[in-house]
Amino acid sequence: MQRKLDDDDHGRDTGLRILLIEDQRDIAANIWDFLELRGFVMDHAADGANGLRMALDGGYDVIVLDLGLPKLDGIDLCRALRRANRDTPVLMLTARDTLQDKLTGFAEGADDYVVKPFAMKELEARIRALYRRGRMQHGDRLHVADLVLDPLDHVVERAGRKLNLTRAGFVLLEALMRKSPNLVRHGDLAHALWGDGGGDIATLHTHLSVLRATIDRPFDIHLLHTVHGFGYRIAEHANA
């Protein structure tokens, strides 16, 4: 299955280019067939080492990455990709559903995850949302206290220190800072990440946990505040 669609393959050669890195052939075949019919241009690698080589060659809009791979684990693959300064969005496929596993994946550069078994339509929605997020750019720098976000250069700093955010964390932080100091509801944050009908509250909370660890934990004053049952806000004071 390591091939590119020909230009006349169903007339779909203008679709998003997806690299699928998955060693279970039945799962890979099902994903390939479903996404190909939906207009995606597919490549496939059956192990981590070959997947990393193809990912580094570039040109993909989204990488769909299984974690349990032979030759090179998905976490190690993602880490190597980010260290090589490749910013292609990565969607993890995983049976590892613990919070720590998810936090580890995000910390190494994954942008989102889908837990096996999953619905193919959900997978498609997550892929499209990652692609849209990767292309969004908005205006001027945002400031809250000593936290600064530059949407165009994709840079976040606090107290003059550059912070390394996940792609999802950047999207969430931008949404929060644009509304600061007001509350941003769970549904609005989910929409910022996944568009209409994507994602779930548990995944959203996981992304926000990673974001909090990056922008708040090293500093004395915490800016990200939970409004239990409703959403989150970015503000210098919890009751702003």
Residues 77 and 52 in one domain: yes
Residues 155 and 108 in one domain: no
Output the domain CATH number for residue 175. 1.10.10.10
Residues 89 and 173 in one domain: no
State the amino acid at position 176 in one-letter form: L
DSSP state of 92: E
C-beta neighbour count of 2 within 10 angstroms: 9
Residue 191 lies in a domain: yes
* Count of the separate structural domains present in the chain: 2
What is residue 2's predicted lDDT score, i.e. its pLDDT? 39
Residues 212 and 124 in one domain: no
CB of 36 within 8 A of CB of 151?
no
Residue 76 lies in a domain: yes
How many Å apart are CA 143 and CA 87, to the nearest integer? 24
- What angle (nearest 5°) sits at the alpha carbon of residue 200, between those of residues 195 and 206? 110
What is residue 10's predicted lDDT score, i.e. its pLDDT? 37
Residue 211 lies in a domain: yes
CB of 48 within 8 A of CB of 73?
yes
Q: What is the DSSP string of 133-148?
A: HHH---SS-EEETTEE
Q: What is the pLDDT tens value at each position of the chain, 240 positions in all? A: 433 333 333 333 347 899 999 999 999 999 999 999 999 999 999 999 999 999 998 788 899 999 889 999 999 999 898 888 787 889 988 876 667 777 777 777 888 888 888 889 989 988 988 887 766 555 578 999 999 998 877 899 999 999 999 888 999 999 999 889 889 999 889 888 887 766 788 889 999 999 999 999 989 999 999 999 899 999 987 765
Residue 92 lies in a domain: yes
What is residue 146's predicted lDDT score, i.e. its pLDDT? 93
What is residue 115's predicted lDDT score, i.e. its pLDDT? 84
Among the candidates 135, 155, 183, a domain finishes at: 135
Percentages helix, strand, coil for the chain (3-state, rounded to 5) are: 40, 20, 40
What is residue 237's predicted lDDT score, i.e. its pLDDT? 78
Residue 197 lies in a domain: yes
**Per-residue CA distances from 224 to 78, 95, 195, 214, 239 (Å):** 27, 30, 23, 11, 11
Among the candidates 135, 160, 177, a domain finishes at: 135
Encoded tokens for 202: 């548990």
Phi-psi bin for 163: left (phi > 0), alpha (psi -120 to 50), beta? beta
List the domain range (segments joined by +) for residue 181.
Answer: 142-234
The secondary structure element, H or E, covering residue 65 is strand 62-66
Dihedral over alpha carbons 113, 117, 118, 123 (to 10 degrees): 50
Residues 111 and 189 in one domain: no
Residue 5 lies in a domain: no
How many Å apart are CA 143 and CA 107, to the nearest integer? 24
> In degrees rounded to 5, what are phi and psi of residue 54?
-65, -40
Among the candidates 135, 162, 190, a domain finishes at: 135
Encoded tokens for 56: 């580094």
Residues 33 and 83 in one domain: yes
What is residue 18's predicted lDDT score, i.e. its pLDDT? 95
DSSP state of 229: T
Q: Is 187 helix (H, G, I), strand (E, B) or coil?
A: helix
Residues 85 and 128 in one domain: yes
